[in-house]
Amino acid sequence: MNPAPAKTALEGGPSKLSPLGSNELKMFGFEGVSLDSIATELGLSRQNMLYYYANKEALYGAVLDSVLTSWLSSMDALAREHDPRAAIDSYIRAKLRFSQERPSGSAVFTREIMAGAPRYAEQLARNVIPLLRADVRTFERWAREGLVAHIDFTHLMFVIWSSTQAYADLSTQFAVFLGKRRLTERDFEAAHALLTELVWTSLSK
Could you read off the pLDDT of 151-200 as tens digits, one per residue? 999 999 999 999 999 999 899 999 999 999 999 999 999 999 999 999 99
Res 18: pLDDT: 52
Q: Is the pLDDT of residue 14 over 70?
A: no
Q: Please count the other Cβ atoms lying within 10 Å of the Cβ belonging to residue 186.
A: 8
Q: Is residue 36 part of a domain?
A: yes
Q: In whole numbers, what is the pLDDT of the chain averaged over residues? A: 83
Answer yes or no: is 30 within a domain: yes
Q: What is the pLDDT of residues 68-99, one digit of tens each?
A: 888 888 777 787 778 999 999 999 999 999 89
Task: Tell whether pTM > 0.75.
Answer: yes
Query: Residues 144, 165: one domain?
Result: yes
Tell whether 145 and 81 lie within a shared domain: yes
User: Are 116 and 158 in the same domain?
Assistant: yes
Give the model's pLDDT for residue 9: 43
Residue ranges making up the domain that contains 31:
14-63
Looking at residue 1, its pLDDT comes to 42
How many folded domains does the chain comprise? 2
Measure the CA–CA gap between 117 and 154, rounded to whole angstroms. 20
Report the CATH number at residue 18.
1.10.10.60
102-129 per-position pLDDT tens digit: 887 778 888 888 878 888 888 888 988 9
Q: Residue 6: what pLDDT? A: 36
Distance of CA 144 to the CA centre of its chain: 31
Q: What is the CATH number of the domain that holds 120?
A: 1.10.357.10
Residues 50 and 124 in one domain: no
142 with 199, same domain? yes
In this structure, the answer to whether residues 59 and 93 fall within a common structural domain is: no
